[in-house]
Homo-oligomer: A and B are copies of this chain.
Amino acid sequence: MARAGGVTIRDVAKRAGVSIAAVSMALNGTGTLSAATRTRVREVADEMEYQADALARGLRRSSVGAIGLVIRSLDLLGDYAPAGVDVFARFIGDLSSQAMARGLSVMLVPDLTRRPAPPLALGLDGYVVDLPTVDDPVVRLLERRGIPYVTLGRDPDRPGFTDWASEDGPAITRRVLDHLAARGARCIALVRGTVPNAWNLDAEAAYRSWSASRGAAPIVREVAEGDGEAGGRSMAHRLADEGAPDAVLCLTGRHAAGMLAGLAERGIRVPHDAMIATASDSEHARHSRPAISAVELDTAATSAALLDLLQARIDGRPSVAPVLTGARFHPRGSTRRRD
């Protein structure tokens, strides 16, 4: 290590009575070395607790064994009531533990585009970018610098780009809509976020085509992700003013919770007068009264898929196809209605 530990490859070489090159080869399993030397060197290295300096190694190999994670919502996490804290926290946790199991470190990069770039940010082996937006500056930067990356959710700008994984948004949307319809909903509104990412765009598209196929007039409303519960509440009032639908699908858990509260304020009972469901489960959804029917995203599977894809890209293996991960729907009180 540059500073910590202090035992370098040279020390090991001296102690083992071989050249530093031999040590490097022995430890990396490269080159041509006698099995005897190899084990001997390994023993000595172990004994000395030698750990190759990732910096020096990275400088040589131009691969540091670390990837970046761009979570935009991270900036929001400082707020008291951030959007979707639940699912993102789980995603961060899953991804970093799984990456570590593969020998990769994870660096958190809230904003890759700032100048000067965060140290190491441009030297990382690759990136996982969450939900690229239309005309995404982070994606543009990675693209320009030729840094491998994969995205959580498809890139709305790049239909041909296949290095992404995601829950199957459209399928989730249809699943919930079918559920609502089965419970007797006749007029279902969709409340999406304002950010132009695949999550919002694809759900809206699925909703519109589902509506069209049923001959229903679509009602789509947008609430800013950052407005959280309060945003959901005011949207509830707006919908009530307009003559409330008898079911609302909120893509965001917080919006759903706010919607529930807002409808209650207007004397609209859930699920009796109107049903509510959300496409991303959260504690909000689980602990509201009534609890809100929600889709539970499989962040562990998505993390694994993203790491697979990223490793393939880093190794230069050809990209195959995006990975759609599963999601389970949990019907709860907010859609429990005897019709």
Contact = CB atoms under 8 A, between A and B. Distances in A.
A76 B89 CA distance: 11
Interface in A46-89: 51, 53-59, 62-66, 69, 74-78, 80, 82, 85-86, 88-89
Contact of A66 (B58, B92, B119, B122): B119
Contacts of A1: 122-123, 145
A304 to B, nearest CB: 11
B123 A105 contact: no
Contact of A105 (B58, B118, B289): B118
Interface residues of A, number: 68
Contact of A58 (B2, B80, B300): B2
A255 to B, nearest CB: 14
Nearest to A74: B93
Interface string A263-295: 000000000000000000011100111000000
Interface stretch (A33-41, A95-103, A158-166): A95-103
Contacts of A147: 3-4
Interface string A287-320: 1110000001001100000000000000000000
A117 interface: yes
A240 interface: no
Given A105-B109, A107-B106, A123-B1, A77 B55 contact: no
A57 B116 CA distance: 15
A105 B96 CA distance: 15
A284 B145 CA distance: 43
Interface string A97-138: 100100111111111001011111111000000000000000
A257 interface: yes
A287 B257 contact: yes
A243 interface: no
B105 A100 contact: no
Given A105-B109, A284-B283, A97 B75 contact: yes
Contacts of A75: 93, 97
A25 B104 CA distance: 34
A107 B108 contact: yes
Nearest to A291: B287
Given A96-B108, A100-B118, 11 more contacts: A53-B123, A55-B123, A82-B93, A100-B110, A105-B108, A105-B118, A105-B119, A105-B120, A282-B283, A283-B284, A287-B288
Contact of A77 (B90, B100, B106): B90
A213 B145 CA distance: 65
9 contacts: A3-B62, A4-B145, A55-B123, A77-B90, A78-B300, A92-B108, A105-B107, A106-B108, A284-B287
